[in-house]
A and B are shown apart, each in its own frame.
Chain A
Amino acid sequence: MEKFKEIIRQYPFLGFIIAFFILMAIPSIFFTDLYQSHLSSLIFINIIVAAGLNIVKGYCGQVTVGHVGLYAVGSYTAGCMFMYLGASLWITLPVAILVTGLFGVAFAIPSFRLEGPYLALATLGGGEAIRLFIENGEFFGSTYGISSISQPELFGITFDTPDKYYYISMPIMLIAIYFSFSVLRSSIGRAFMAVREDPISAAASGINVKKHKMLAFILSAMFAGAAGAVYAHLPPGYIHPNNYTVIEMVTFLAMVVFGGLGHIWGGIIGAVIITIVYDLTRPLYEYQLFIFGLTIVLTILFMPKGIGGFIDKYFIDRRFKKKQGVASK
């Protein structure tokens, strides 16, 4: 077991290949209906957004409430490219990532001067402005939405049903997680944390605070863009400005907070649990928002670092006690 762990640590992508094969097998073993595939795709999309949000919010500590706007930019880049050019996911995905990355620059600029609630307000305005712009723009289909966005084709297979689309959203999600892990585990991730904890002190250590804030915003915007494009092509391929409101933003934030702000697995755990819980409570629609709000409040009160922080604490305490035990002997 130890040896296995060591190998994974040395070749991180091995873990992802194993995860890929496990996730490939899951539908045929466990899934009984198409809805589970659809839900899985939604979970994967949420994971991508939450993993990106964890970079800027969890690691770099920049309070952004406009991320859903970037998600919308990703979706609408893909949607418009389909509508006007008939492009498929293979083209819209990279373009959406790039375009959303550019929008990320715009979101990063206020963070140079503002922080905390003021930055939250500025980004909230940015996110809402994007949605309203789409809603009022004929070019973007305004409130008609964009419909019948095509599903991608590969090796002669059209991934046009939820069970097939699973095999599109899943690898993209894994690649996104892989990138987020690589970045966050490197010196860049540490620099992000240093900027979050104390920008002055970080600068004294030679960390360019502005550059890293910018980097965090761009990276997380790219994640949101990728998620947006994957969502736009999700069967039945329909996007509408109503899906990018503040409520969705709060849900994304809840995922990151619940999973553990600044924990490498934070956004991922949160996205999985919150999407599933949200689905299970669907029949209790009268109480759904109440349950949701209560969960967030209780998490912040009793597990300020979310589930990730909770698990971490357990392991570190155990390791520390072990060491202390050895020392006292």
Chain B
Amino acid sequence: MLLKTKKLMKAFGGLKAINKVDFELPKNEIRGIIGPNGSGKSTFFNLVSGVYDADPGSYIEFDGHDITNEPPHKVGELGLARTFQLLRLYQDMSVINNVMSGYHTLVPYKFIDAVIGRKKIWDQEKVIKEEMMELLSFVGLADYAEMNASELSGGQRRLLVLARAIAGKPKLLMLDEPAAGLSPVNVDNLMKILMRLKEKYGLTLIIIEHILKVVMDTCSKVTVLDHGEKIAEGTPSQIKDDNAVIEAYLGKKMDDEEMRKALDV
């Protein structure tokens, strides 16, 4: 198992944002996490990536390491990358620097070498830059490398965030609503890039997404959260027919026709 949580819990005051969630994810899987608004999807990400501390009794394991309550940069160093719902781009940095800062944990040289400014560092920097340019051309942003990130369009920003997350060659990539606000064409484009990236870098993915079509098409398995609890898990087709899921989303049972419409499948 690449990622494993046991009795994961987080309460904000009286509200149980995540309640005793057991979660297991093997390597090379694409997992979707769905659920209505406020069901705890983003909180789950924040707990796993270390942004929030989990409540006592929780246990998170990543790639054989206990990462419960580890600070986010430690989790990042272990090879768990993520994107954010609000993107959190480095607005005032050039596109290439955005991506290169994602490479931070893999930089081979030491601090003292950098201060002294040894020649080998500039050679290594050159290699890193070339590698990152390759990544940028992969997502189609190579032409914009020297531009400020704030000058990019919405769709380009989402691609840049993706590139930045992949730059550190993570084992697991967690995407928080990667397609939010994109036009259908761009969503397709994004999905294609995502699939190619997975193949190229051998990624394991977790995707939170509101556009169910994305989840249903790309994920091999789907976990459903509601009110901080895991209510279902299974293949997309199993989930589609799960009564608990339908109730969570729509509050009542529907026939097949209504259901298709609602889920836009």
Contact = CB atoms under 8 A, between A and B. Distances in A.
Interface of A: 9-13, 178-179, 181-183, 185-188, 190-191, 193-194, 196-198, 200-209, 215, 262, 316, 319-320, 323-324, 327
A203 B114 contact: no
A264 B147 CA distance: 16
A205 B117 contact: no
Top 9 nearest A-B pairs (CB, nearest first) are A206-B76, A182-B117, A197-B90, A186-B114, A206-B105, A203-B72, A201-B88, A187-B107, A194-B101
B222 to A, nearest CB: 24
Interface stretch (B2-10, B17-25, B91-99, B191-199): B91-99
Interface in B56-111: 71-73, 76-77, 81-82, 84, 88-93, 97, 100-105, 107, 109, 111
A119 to B, nearest CB: 19
A203 B143 contact: no
Contacts of B146: 316, 319-320
A316 B90 contact: no
Among A181, A190, A203, A208, find the residue whose CB has the most chain B CB atoms closer than 10 A: A190
A321 to B, nearest CB: 12
Interface of B: 49-51, 71-73, 76-77, 81-82, 84, 88-93, 97, 100-105, 107, 109, 111, 114-117, 119, 121-122, 125, 143, 146-147, 164-165, 167-168
B111 A188 contact: yes
A327 B107 CA distance: 33
A311 to B, nearest CB: 14
Contacts of B101: 187, 190-191, 193-194, 202, 205, 207
Contacts of A201: 84, 88-90
Contacts of A208: 71, 73
A235 to B, nearest CB: 31
Contact of A191 (B92, B104, B109, B121): B104
A190 to B, nearest CB: 4
24 contacts: A12-B117, A181-B117, A182-B116, A183-B115, A187-B125, A190-B100, A193-B90, A194-B90, A196-B92, A197-B92, A197-B93, A198-B89, A203-B71, A204-B72, A205-B73, A205-B105, A205-B164, A205-B168, A206-B73, A206-B77, A206-B168, A208-B73, A316-B147, A320-B146
Given A194-B104, A200-B72, A204-B81, 13 more contacts: A11-B119, A182-B121, A186-B121, A186-B125, A187-B103, A190-B100, A196-B92, A201-B84, A201-B88, A202-B101, A203-B72, A207-B76, A316-B147
Q: Of A12, A182, A324, which is in contact with the most chain B CB atoms at under 10 Å from its CB?
A: A182
Nearest to B83: A204
Contacts of B90: 193-194, 197-198, 201
Contacts of B114: 182-183, 186-188
B93 A193 contact: yes
Nearest to A12: B117
Contacts of A10: 119, 122
Residue among A194, A203, A204, A209 having the largest count of chain B Cβ atoms under 10 Å: A204
A186 B122 CA distance: 8
A198 B111 CA distance: 22
A9 B119 CA distance: 10
Contacts of A324: 143
Contacts of B77: 206
B111 to A, nearest CB: 6
A183 B104 CA distance: 14
Nearest to B107: A187
Nearest to A207: B104
Contacts of B88: 198, 200-201
A197 B84 CA distance: 14
Contacts of B104: 187, 190-191, 194, 205-207
Contact of A9 (B72, B93, B116, B122): B122
Contacts of B103: 187
Nearest to A190: B101
B173 to A, nearest CB: 11
Contacts of A190: 93, 97, 100-101, 104
Nearest to A181: B117
A186 B116 CA distance: 11
B208 to A, nearest CB: 15
- Looking at B49, B102, B167, the one whose CB has the most chain A CB atoms below 10 A away is B102
Nearest to A182: B117
